[in-house]
Amino acid sequence: MDLRNLLASLQEKPDGHSCIPTALADPLLEMKTAHAIVGDIPTIFLGMVDEKYTVEEWNDHKDQIVQLFSITDHKCIGEIKVQTRKTGSLNAQLFGQEMSRIITEVNNQKPTALRIVSLGPRWSPVLSDALLTFIRAWQIPPNQKTLQLITLGESADSYFLSFCKDICLKRTCAILQFYNAHDYDVFGTIK
């Protein structure tokens, strides 16, 4: 057992509650509002379609996001659209091939900012792992990465906020903007 794991095990109380750390060794998470990054930055639409969330709905939502974020160059748009089977499973090999293709395209461009849009009826651990792999495979230093994560609000807000928190605290990118369409009314005003 390494020292860090040993110390972590010592922090665990018998009642299952964690102890309060003895020092502030790593940075805290600072949350603040900012104006949205708009315009033509590489944008990847990532999610699942099935009989409940159809390709037509996907395309309609994609078009709305393209308009909302003022994306005019359609060459900066990529899609990883996973068709789930009737059993709810997905073709992992095809999904992996699509991820590799998009990662290669992004790394050939070397952008410092990316926009990732979650579409579909739900967010799954597979998509979460894929997104984290994607961000790590993006070949620029973490302190130069700006990530804008957009969701329609179909999945629990707490899930995405935990995901964003982990990305920031682990210093996977320098700046992360999180936009949940469900937080705003039709006029773009916070509910």
Kind and range of the H or E element at 125? helix 125-137
Model confidence pLDDT, tens digit, residues 99-158: 899 999 999 999 999 999 988 876 677 777 888 888 999 999 999 999 999 988 776 666
Helix (H, G, I), strand (E, B) or coil at 11: helix
pLDDT score of 8: 61
Mean pLDDT of 72-91: 79
User: CATH fold of 42-165+173-183, please?
Assistant: Rossmann fold (3.40.50)
Q: Rounded distance, CA 144 to CA 151, Å?
A: 23
Confidence of residue 5 (pLDDT cuts 50, 70, 90): low
* Span 5-24, average pLDDT: 68
Q: Which two tokens stand for residue 162?
A: 């935990």
Say whether pLDDT at 9 is over 70: no
- Position 130 scores a pLDDT of 81
3-state secondary structure of 40: coil
C-alpha to C-alpha distances, 3 to 11, 16, 20, nearest whole angstrom: 12, 21, 18
| Residue 11 pLDDT > 70 | no
Which residues are CB-contacts of 111 (< 8 A; sequence separation ≥ 6)? 41, 42, 140
| Structure confidence at residue 32 (pLDDT) | 86
Q: Over the stretch 25-78, which tens digit does the pLDDT of each residue have?
A: 888 888 889 999 999 999 999 888 888 888 999 999 999 999 999 999 988 888
Domain ranges of the chain: 42-165+173-183
Q: What is the DSSP secondary-structure string of 127-157?
A: HHHHHHHHHHHS-S-GGG-EEEEEE-S-S-H
Phi/psi of residue 156, nearest 5 degrees: -60, 130
Residue 182 has pLDDT above 90, yes or no: no
